[in-house]
Amino acid sequence: MEEKKTKYMDRAINEEILEKMSLKNRYAFLNTNLMTVLEQNQMNFLKSAQKFCVRYEKKNEITHAPNEEFYHWIPDFGKEGLISRAHPYSEIDMNFEDYGLTIELMRCLALSFFDPQFSMAGGATILAINPVYFHHEGIPLRLEILKKFVTGVTPGAILITEPERGSDAVHQLTLCKENDDGSFIINGEKIYNTNAPKSDYVVMYATGEQNNGNTMAQFLVDTSWDGWSCDRVLIPWVPKVWIGHEHFNNMHVPKDYVLGGIGKGREHLFEGLVPERIGIALDATSQCWNALAFASIYANNRKQFDQEILKFQGVGFLLTDLWAQLMNVTQGLLRFTEKYDAAIEKFGGELPKNMSQAMVAAASQLKYHTCALSKDICYEAANLMGGAGLCDNTLMHDLLNISRIQEIVGGSRQIQLYILSMAMRQLYKMTGI
Ligand SMILES: Cc1cc2nc3c(=O)[nH]c(=O)nc-3n(C[C@H](O)[C@H](O)[C@H](O)COP(=O)(O)OP(=O)(O)OC[C@H]3O[C@@H](n4cnc5c(N)ncnc54)[C@H](O)[C@@H]3O)c2cc1C
C-alpha cells in the first residue's frame, strides 16, 4: 500500500490577521487602554522597554517557536536594565532613575508581551535578587553576585520546595550543620526550582533540625561547588524554562555565603513571599493583557457569516466582560503598587515590620485574584479565536499553559485562601466586635 504523505502546515492563520497581531500592535492595544490610567513617567518607561523588545525581536529574528531557546538573551536584557527595577541598585552602581513596584509592573508588561516564558523565568531571578539585596551586609562577594544577577551575567534561582515539602514549606527536610568557623555543611534535596540548572548562583533554605521551622537558615550558593548536583525537570507547559531537581551531598557553604544563620531562615522566607506573590500578580496581569490583545485584534478582523466576529454577541460580550474585569483589577493593582512605592520612599527603602505584615493579605489577594483571572482570560481569549487560538502561530498556547502554572507557584490557590482565612480571623479580632 502506498504510504500517505502528510506534512505539517506551519501557517494556519490568515497572513494579514497574523501581521495585525504583531508585538508592536499588541503593545499599541495595551498602551491605548492604559493611556488615561498611567502617569507620564510610567508610560515613558513602558514605551522605552517596549521599543527595546520590538527591536530585539526583529534584529534577532525571534519567532517564539516551541523549539526556540532564550537563556542567551538574558545578558542583552541585563545591559538594558530590564532584569529588575525593584530598587535603584546604587550599591552596585546601577543608579536606576526609574524603579519601584509600579515600574516593575511596566517592565513586566513589556517583557511578558514579548515572551511569556522568558518573563516567567526572569521572575525566578528576581526571587534570588531580593534576599541578596536585603542581606548583602556590604560583603563584596555578595554585592558582586547581586550585580551579576541584575546585569544578566547569570540567571538566578530560589530553592524552597522539596520533593516531600511543597505547600508546607516551613517543615523542611534538607539539613544544614554549622561548623566552628561559621561555615555550613548541607545535605538533602530540592525540586521544581526555576532556572536552577542554568544559574551560576542560587539562594536556598535548609534547616538545623528536620520539621522545625525555628531552625531554618538561608544560604547563597555557588553552583560550581562540590556536593551540588542538579538535573532538569521538564514541565511540558513551559518547555523553554529550565527547572531543577538538586541534590546536596556534604556541600560546604563558606561563612560569607550565609545570608541568614539558624533561626533566621523562616523570617527571610516570609519576607520573600510577599514580593514573590506580588511579582506573580504582575506577571499574571501581563498575561491577561497579552491574551486580550490577541483576541481583540483577532475578533476585530476575523469574519464569519460576512461579519467581524466581535459583532456577534457571543464573542463581543464575553470579550468585553473579560476586558472590564481586567481593567478594574489592573487599576486595583496599580493603586497597590503606587501606595507600596510611596511607603518605601517614606520609610527610606524598607517597610517597617508591621506594615510589611499588613501586606501579606494584600499580596495573597492579588496573587489569588490575578491568577484566577489569568486562568479565565487566557482560556476564553484562546477559545474566542477558534482554531487560530489552538495552533502555535501565536503566543496563545504559551499564555494558556502558563496561566495554569501561575495558580500553583508561589503558593497554590488553596494556600492563598487559607492564608486569607487566617488574615480575616486576625482582622475580625482587631475590630473588637
Ligand atoms: C513551573 C514551576 C516552577 C516552580 N518554581 C519554583 C521555584 O523557583 N522555587 C521553588 O522553591 N519552588 C518552585 N515551584 C514549586 C511550587 O512552589 C510548588 O509546586 C507549590 O508550592 C506546591 O507544592 P507541591 O507541588 O508539593 O504540591 P502540594 O503541596 O503537595 O499540594 C498538592 C495539592 O494540595 C493542596 N494543598 C496542600 N496543602 C493544603 C492545605 N493546607 N489546604 C488546602 N489545600 C492544600 C494544594 O493546593 C495542591 O492543590 C515551582 C513549581 C512549578 C510547577
Cα-based distances in Å from 392 to 9, 10, 13: 11, 8, 10
419 close to ligand 1 (CB < 6 Angstrom): no
- The residue nearest atom 9 of ligand 1, judged by CA position, is 193
- The residue whose grid cell reads 563558606 is 254
Q: What pLDDT is stored for residue 274 in this prediction?
A: 84
Q: Which atom of ligand 1 is nearest to the CA of 418?
A: 42
Mutate to test the pocket of ligand 1, among 408, 413, 417 (most ligand atoms within 8 A of CB): 408
Rounded CA gap, 82 and 80, in Å? Answer: 6
Q: Is the CB–ligand 1 distance for residue 420 below 6 Å? A: no
Q: Tell whether ligand 1 has an atom less than 6 A from the beta carbon of residue 286.
A: no
Pocket test for ligand 1, best of 126, 161, 170, 419 (most atoms within 8 A of CB): 161
In short, whether 235's Cβ falls inside 6 Å of ligand 1 is yes
Every domain of the chain and the residues it spans: 15-150, 156-263, 266-431
Query: In whole angstroms, how large is the CA radius of gyration of the chain?
Result: 22
Cβ–ligand 1 distance for 414 under 6 Å, the answer: yes
Nearest-CA residue for ligand 1 atom 23 is: 166
Q: Which of 3, 1, 21, 23 is nearest to 12 (CA)?
A: 21
- The CATH number fitting domain 266-431, selected from 1.20.140.10, 1.10.132.20, 1.10.10.60, 1.10.238.10: 1.20.140.10
Cβ–ligand 1 contact at 192 (below 6 Å): yes
Determine the Cα–Cα distance for residues 219 and 423; give it in Å rounded to an integer. Answer: 30
Predicted local distance difference test score (pLDDT) of residue 356: 73
Contact 390, 357 (CB under 8 A): no
Beta carbon of 134 within 6 Å of any ligand 1 atom: no
243 lines ligand 1 (CB under 6 A): yes
Identify the residue whose C-alpha is closest to ligand 1 atom 14: 192
From first to last of its 433 residues, the chain has per-residue pLDDT tens of 556 666 555 788 999 999 999 999 999 999 999 999 999 999 999 999 999 999 999 999 999 988 899 999 999 999 999 999 999 999 999 999 999 999 999 999 999 999 999 999 999 999 999 999 999 999 999 999 999 999 999 999 999 999 999 999 999 999 999 999 999 999 999 999 999 999 999 999 999 999 999 999 999 999 999 999 999 999 999 999 999 999 999 999 999 999 999 999 999 999 888 889 999 999 999 999 999 999 999 999 999 999 999 999 999 999 999 999 999 999 999 999 999 999 888 988 777 777 777 788 999 999 999 999 999 999 999 999 999 999 889 999 999 999 999 999 999 999 999 999 999 998 899 889 9
Whether 401 is in the pocket of ligand 1, judged by its Cβ within 6 Å, is no
Nearest CA to ligand 1 atom 15: 192
Cα 280 to ligand 1 centre (Å):
14
Instruction: List the residue whose alpha carbon is closest to atom 17 of ligand 1.
Output: 409
- For residue 9, the 8-state DSSP code is -
**By alpha-carbon position, which residue is closest to atom 26 of ligand 1?**
166
Name the 3-class secondary structure at 205. Answer: strand
Burial string for 30-51 (b: 16+ CB within 10 Å, else e) reads beebbeeebeeebeebbeebbe
Place of cell 534547616: 207
Task: Check: CB of residue 102 under 8 Å from CB of residue 275.
Answer: no
- Output the CA torsion sign for 63, 65, 69, 73: positive
Evaluate: CB of 18 within 6 angstroms of ligand 1.
no
Place of cell 550543620: 177
Q: Which fold has domain 156-263?
A: Butyryl-CoA Dehydrogenase, subunit A; domain 2 (2.40.110)
What is the distance between the alpha carbons of residues 395 and 382, in angstroms, rounded to a whole number? 10
* Cα–ligand 1 centroid distance for 278 (angstroms): 17
Residue whose Cα lies nearest atom 43 of ligand 1: it is 414
Report which ligand 1 atom has the smallest distance to the Cα of 414.
Answer: 47
Q: Number of H helices and number of E strands within the chain?
A: 13, 10
- How far apart are the CA of 73 and the centre of ligand 1, in A? 29
DSSP classification of residue 198: G
